[in-house]
C-alpha cells in the first residue's frame, strides 16, 4: 500500500471535515488493506490431473491466479513460500462423511488436508465454508422405507426420513433441495452382510469376519455356516417405484442420487431405478451382469474400502468394476471409528491395490473427479480461477502416501491454516 497516499487521505480526514463524505468515497480503496497474494514454489505439483515439475502457483483473493514456470511468476508484493522438495496438491474432497452426526471437529478435518466434505446423512443446511473454513456440503437426512435402515439402529432425527408413497417421496426430495441438499441419498440396505460395520455392531456377523485377503475367492453361494446365522432382509427396503420417483424428481431439479447399497437386492433396485452413485463398494459379491449394467449407466462408486475391509465381496467387486471400466470416487467415511479425521492413506492404498488404479488416478478420485461429480468442475484442481484450496507435503506422496495424512501446508480460500515451511 502506498504510504504517501495513506498520509494524504489521513490529513484530509483531519483538516477537511466538511468533505468527509467525499473523502470516505475517494479514499476507501486506499485505506483498506487488500488481501496479500501468496506465491508457492515447489519441486512438483499434482494439478488434479497429472504431476508436473517447474510449476509455481500464485493465489490471491480466494482464487488461484496463475500456475506457471517459476521464472514467469511475478512475486512482487506477495508472500513467497519456498517449499523445496515438496508436492502441492488440491485440497482433498471427502465424498462420504458423517461430521454432523458424530460431532467431528471441522477444524481438525481441515488441518489434516480435507478442504471439502460431503456430509451424507445429517442435518440439512445450505453449503458453507471454503473461506478459511472447511467447505461443507450435505445431502440432509437419508430417504428410507418405514422402519428401514438406518432408523432401527440410529434413530431418525436429522439422520433419516421414512417415505411411504411416490407423492411423499417427490415432496421430500423437493424440500431437501430447497433446504440446500447438493445430492439426495437413499438407503437400500436389508442388513445381514458378513463383515459390514452396520451388521457387526448390531447383533449380526457373530462369527469372526474373514478379511478380503484371507478369502479372495469367497462367494455368497458357498458361504456355508457363516450365512446360516446371518439374518436376511432384516430391514424393509424402498420399492423400485418409489426409488424411481426419487431419482426422477432429483434429476428434474438438477440433483444426483446416491444410494447406500451393500448386497445384490439393493443393487438391483438401484440399477433398475437409475441411481447415479453407490455410496459404498458393495460388501457382498455382486453379479457381473448387474455391475455391467451399472457401468453402462455411468454409475460412480464411492470407495469406503477401509471401513468395509472385512467384507467378503469388496475386493472382487472392485476388481470387476475396474475391469469393466467403472469409475471410483474417494470417500473414507470420516467419523467412522478408526478412520482418520482427514486424508486416509489406507483408503488411497486400497484404491491403488484393490481397484488397480495408478497414483494419478487415485488422486484424481479425491480431487478433480470429485469436483466434477459435485458439479463444481474447478474444485479439486490447480488451475486459473479454481478455489485456492490446496495442500503441500514434503516429498512425493507416490512413494510415501502416509505423508498425506499430515500435510505441512493447508490453505483454504487463500487463508493459511497450517504452514510448517519457512517463508
For 381-397, the pLDDT digits (tens) are 999 999 999 999 999 99
Cα–Cα distance list, 122 to 176, 238, 405 (Å): 12, 20, 25
Same domain, 262 and 298: yes
Residue 22 located in a structural domain: no
Same domain, 409 and 288: no
Last residue of a domain, one of 379, 397, 414: 379
Cα maximum dimension of the chain = 92
CATH number at residue 300: 3.20.20.140
Q: How far apart are CA 329 and CA 369, in angstroms?
A: 7
Under DSSP, the state recorded for 220 is G
Dihedral angle, C-alpha 62, 63, 68, 74, nearest 10 °: -50
CATH number at residue 42: 2.30.40.10
All three cell numbers of 286: 455382486
Residue 311 located in a structural domain: yes
pLDDT for res 423: 55
Residue 29 located in a structural domain: no
Same domain, 141 and 205: yes
Same domain, 58 and 140: no
Mean pLDDT of the chain: 87
Same domain, 42 and 125: no
Residue 249 located in a structural domain: yes
Q: How far apart are CA 196 and CA 27, in angstroms?
A: 63
Residue 12 located in a structural domain: no
Residue 253 · residue 173 · CB < 8 Å: yes
Q: What is the pLDDT of residues 87-132, one digit of tens each?
A: 999 999 999 999 998 999 999 999 999 999 999 999 999 999 999 9
Single out the residue of 329, 328, 382 nearest to residue 50, CA to CA: 382
Containing domain of residue 55, as a range?
35-91+381-423
Residue 2 located in a structural domain: no
Residue 243 · residue 275 · CB < 8 Å: yes
Same domain, 360 and 407: no
Q: Which residues of the chain have pLDDT under 70?
A: 1-35, 200-233, 423
Domain count, the chain: 2
Q: How far apart are CA 370 and CA 158, in angstroms?
A: 25
Q: How far apart are CA 15 and CA 28, in angstroms?
A: 17
Same domain, 231 and 301: yes
65: helix, strand or coil: strand
Same domain, 86 and 173: no
Q: What is the pLDDT of residues 235-255, one digit of tens each?
A: 999 999 999 999 999 999 999
Amino acid at each position: 500500500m502506498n504510504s504517501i497516499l495513506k498520509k494524504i487521505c489521513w490529513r484530509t480526514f483531519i483538516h477537511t471535515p466538511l468533505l468527509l463524505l467525499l473523502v470516505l468515497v475517494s479514499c476507501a480503496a486506499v485505506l483498506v488493506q487488500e488481501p496479500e497474494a501468496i506465491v508457492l514454489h515447489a519441486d512438483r505439483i499434482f494439478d488434479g490431473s497429472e504431476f508436473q515439475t517447474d510449476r509455481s502457483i500464485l493465489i490471491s483473493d480466494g482464487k488461484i491466479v496463475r500456475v506457471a514456470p517459476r521464472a514467469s511468476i511475478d512475486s512482487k508484493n506477495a508472500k513467497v513460500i519456498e517449499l523445496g522438495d515438496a508436492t502441492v496438491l488440491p485440497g482433498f474432497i471427502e465424498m462420504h462423511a458423517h461430521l454432523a452426526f458424530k460431532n467431528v471437529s471441522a477444524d481438525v478435518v481441515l488441518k489434516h488436508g480435507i478442504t471439502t466434505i460431503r456430509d451424507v446423512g445429517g442435518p440439512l443446511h445450505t453449503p458453507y465454508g471454503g473461506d478459511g473454513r472447511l467447505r461443507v456440503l450435505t445431502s440432509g437426512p437419508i430417504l428410507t422405507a418405514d422402519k428401514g435402515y438406518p432408523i432401527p439402529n440410529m434413530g431418525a432425527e436429522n439422520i433419516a426420513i421414512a417415505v411411504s408413497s411416490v407423492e411423499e417421496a417427490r415432496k421430500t426430495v423437493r424440500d431437501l433441495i430447497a433446504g440446500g441438499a447438493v445430492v439426495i441419498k437413499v438407503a437400500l440396505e436389508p442388513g445381514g452382510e458378513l463383515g459390514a460395520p452396520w451388521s457387526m455392531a448390531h447383533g449380526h456377523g457373530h462369527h469372526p469376519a474373514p478379511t478380503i485377503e484371507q478369502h479372495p475367492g469367497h462367494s455368497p453361494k458357498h458361504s456355508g455356516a457363516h450365512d446360516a446365522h446371518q439374518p436376511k432382509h432384516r430391514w424393509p427396503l424402498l420399492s423400485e417405484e418409489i426409488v424411481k420417483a426419487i431419482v426422477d424428481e432429483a434429476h428434474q431439479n438438477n440433483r444426483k442420487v446416491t444410494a447406500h447399497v451393500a448386497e445384490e437386492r439393493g443393487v438391483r433396485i438401484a440399477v433398475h431405478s437409475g441411481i447415479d452413485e453407490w455410496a459404498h463398494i458393495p460388501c457382498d459379491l455382486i453379479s457381473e451382469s448387474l455391475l455391467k449394467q451399472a457401468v453402462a449407466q455411468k454409475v460412480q462408486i464411492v470407495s469406503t474400502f477401509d471401513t468395509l475391509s472385512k467384507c467378503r465381496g469388496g475386493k472382487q467387486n472392485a476388481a470387476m468394476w475396474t475391469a469393466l471400466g467403472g469409475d471410483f470416487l474417494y470417500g473414507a467415511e470420516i467419523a467412522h471409528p478408526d478412520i482418520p479425521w482427514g486424508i486416509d492413506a489406507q483408503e488411497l492404498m486400497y484404491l491403488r491395490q484393490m481397484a488397480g488404479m495408478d497414483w494419478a488416478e487415485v488422486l484424481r478420485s479425491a480431487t478433480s473427479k470429485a469436483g466434477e461429480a459435485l458439479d463444481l468442475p474447478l474444485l479439486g484442481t490447480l488451475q486459473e480461477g479454481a478455489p485456492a484450496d490446496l495442500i503441500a507435503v514434503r516429498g512425493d506422496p507416490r512413494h510415501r502416501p502416509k505423508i498425506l495424512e499430515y500435510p505441512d501446508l493447508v490453505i483454504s480460500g487463500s487463508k493459511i491454516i497450517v504452514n510448517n515451511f519457512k517463508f
